[in-house]
């Protein structure tokens, strides 16, 4: 059954790759040569088979081995999150002044984190099937999309928070915090899988915790820094 599923995935990815190649050749006004056709079909088949073997090895691995692989990454994530906790504790007075607005900080972290996981999944899939043509362009694309999503969702969430709390400050604070957090998660979610693969690590294990930790750092720092600025300007 596993072999049948693998063959189906191979054929689907081969068709997708051929469609991309055909579109590229049309733009160049060239035809696909037999050598190009054979090469791309073989590359995709080899990639899928390698991924299948890796997945089977994970399924067969002992619990202790799987835990060992993940512990280091999670430990590094914990250290970064402890830094976030230290930063939050530094802004106690600001939080006390804007407690109603600060209640929306977890929303910012969660939404930005979800965008980062989306990005990491897209990049890992592209690396797996070999459809990533330009790595830098892929990173810039995800950061740009993150900026747009951050602004749009930030305005929506910020407006709701404004109506809920009666504090207009909620709108710029939440919007800018989501903007910063989602750009950070987009960057980390697209860069870390590539770094992981380059150094021989499993992108699926490293990318998620790394992007979540760094986007938390960006989101909470931006959120609290803007609130502190508003307090100093006399709006608290």
For residue 1, what pLDDT band results from cuts at 50, 70 and 90?
Answer: very low
| Claim to verify: residue 10 and residue 68 sit in the same structural domain | no
Of the residues 60, 89, 107, the one at which a domain ends? 60
Could you tell me the residue range of the domain that residue 161 belongs to? 62-232
CA 51 to chain centre: 21
Please, what is the Cα angle at 17 between 11 and 23, to 5 degrees?
A: 135
pLDDT for residue 6 is more than 80: no
State pLDDT tens for residues 85-123.
999 998 998 999 999 999 999 999 999 999 999 999 888
**More confident position, 216 or 50:** 216
| Claim to verify: residue 32 and residue 13 sit in the same structural domain | yes
* Mean pLDDT confidence for 204-227: 88
The answer to whether the beta carbons of residues 118 and 189 sit under 8 Å apart is: yes
pLDDT at 220: 93
pLDDT at 207: 81
CB count, 10 Å around CB of 38? 10
Count H helices and E strands in the chain, helices first: 9, 0
| Claim to verify: residue 90 and residue 3 sit in the same structural domain | no
Q: Token pair of 209, please? A: 């915790």
* Mean pLDDT confidence for 204-210: 80
Percentage of the residues of the chain whose pLDDT score is greater than 70: 71
Tally of domains within the chain: 2
CA distances from 104 to 162, 170, 233 (A): 11, 9, 22
């Amino acid at each position: 059954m596993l072999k049948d599923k693998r063959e189906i995935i191979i054929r689907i990815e081969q068709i997708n790759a051929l469609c991309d190649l055909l579109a590229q050749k049309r733009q160049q006004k060239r035809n696909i040569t037999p050598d190009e056709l054979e090469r791309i079909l073989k590359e995709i088949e080899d990639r899928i088979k390698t991924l299948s073997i890796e997945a089977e090895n994970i399924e067969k691995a002992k619990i202790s081995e799987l835990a060992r692989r993940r512990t280091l990454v999670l430990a590094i994530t914990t250290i970064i999150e402890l830094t976030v906790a230290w930063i939050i504790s530094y802004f106690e007075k600001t939080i006390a002044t804007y407690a109603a607005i600060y209640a929306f900080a977890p929303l910012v972290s969660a939404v930005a984190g979800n965008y980062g996981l989306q990005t990491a999944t897209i990049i890992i899939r592209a690396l797996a099937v070999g459809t990533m043509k330009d790595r830098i362009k892929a990173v810039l694309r995800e950061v740009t999309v993150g900026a747009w999503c951050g602004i749009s969702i930030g305005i929506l969430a910020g407006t709701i928070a404004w109506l809920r709390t009666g504090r207009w400050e909620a709108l710029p604070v939440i919007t800018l915090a989501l903007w910063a957090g989602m750009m950070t998660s987009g960057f980390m979610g697209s860069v870390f899988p590539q770094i992981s693969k380059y150094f021989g690590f499993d992108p699926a294990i490293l990318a998620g915790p790394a992007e979540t930790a760094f986007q938390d750092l960006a989101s909470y720092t931006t959120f609290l820094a803007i609130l502190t600025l508003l307090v100093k300007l006399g709006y608290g």
